[in-house]
Structure 1
Amino acid sequence: MKKILLLLIVPALFSCQKETKKTAALEKPEVELHKELYGNWVGDFTVKETDTTKEVEYVYSNKINILIKSIVKNKVTGQSIVAGNTTPFLGTVITVKNGELAFELKELGNGKNNGVFTFNIKNDTLSGLWVANDKNAVVKSREFQLVKQEFKYDPTRMLPNERDYIDYYSAKRDSVTETFEDGEEISYEESTYRAASEVITQINTSTTKLTEEDVKNLKKLELEILRNTIFARHGYTFKKKSYRQFFDPVDWYVPVSNDVSKDLTAIEKSNIALLERFEKYAEDNYDTFGR
């Protein structure tokens, strides 16, 4: 009887071992490739082709981040981050001549601004084209040349002081009449804009807890920029083009998320609340500026 039981048990044990090995083989994780390409590829996202029959305003250039998250075999996943939108994408990569890699990535979902990226990576530069899914879109395609850029929160980051901070998206049209010596009058419309002073490059809203005394004499635009610089340091992607115009040109700014609320420090939260309170009542001076 014991011999019979042993004869039955031994084959069963071998069968279990085979099944275990088979299961382990099936569960073996797939190897990720080209990990050196993972991360943020950042740069200008500029208009290439538009529908000239439509008189609709659009932004010629935005800062974009093409974030590559994984490459398994030839499958690529990641997301695009631009103009307040974070959109996942899925696609493929193939090796072309001289080890150069060619990608085709489709943004997922039904967003009106979704499209398809095709680009190559060569000599540390990612360059290519984006084509809109919507055949009726005003901006039909955009082009880009991006470089790898690490995002790291740094509360000491400041806006550069060698630039002018003029809000070209909130212009006012004023009627102006000029009278000449001979009595002739000429009337015309003139655009005026609001501008921020160098104070926005001097006050650090991430490291210094502000008081009412610090902000009570500031213009509305200055308050807005000081507040949004906090979000820019955390890599927030701005939906409003009137905000993007001040941060997209800044070298250290890398858009990585459309929600950074959980990353804000106690000082930053306090300053945001104070700045927002004063923004409600602050005013701006408008003047003429050349572009």
Structure 2
Amino acid sequence: MIFSLFSALSFSQTKDTIVHAYMSVQNYEMNPSEIKKTINPKKIDYEGSYHFGESEGESDLEIIFSNNKLYARTEYADWENNTWVGKSDRLPIEYSKHKTVIDKTEYELSISDNEKGLISHYYKNVGEKTHHYIQFNPSNDIEKPQGKYPESSFVKLTLKELTELPKSELKIMRNEIFARNGYIFKSGGKMDTYFSKKIWYKPIKKDNINFSDIEKHNIELILKLE
């Protein structure tokens, strides 16, 4: 990603507006002038894992770019049967005019102290004053699934999305899920020939593969179309 060009965000404080900036949660205040937005970011620039909240309210907004689309999900922990269990929910995401709207919230790609992040804006009227809150959510590297269709191991796909692909590609997408989990294909078969050429493919076992709930969902859905 190239961050060579930036423009300072206009967070000027006026007589009737008070500007606040903070990182992830309001406990971590920032100087608004330290936050800058990228100029004309591309879709792929939004790829990353963005941290929100703290302690029991922590979550990560994860975004990947694949086949000219953005896919987003939120990763968080939930209390189940006296155990903290990791959860993952897909979020709707739209990209337009260098901005993204994720689950009805608009975000802009930005940087602070050489750290990439997303900024969002919130406003609250208190008496005759308007409080403008700027939230900066920093990003970490994301472990993107390998292959042509990483989204099939990242989010639960829909029939509408899958019907856009020919059956030949659906077969590759479905078997790619198996390949990512080290499945050993029939020696000399089409899938064995196809995946053996992929650097990331590491055949490990034939049976007892622990697919994620996301992968199970997508395998079943793809099989219906095939």
Q: Same fold (TM over 0.5)?
A: no
TM superposition score normalised by structure 1: 0.27
Q: TM-score, normalised by structure 2?
A: 0.32
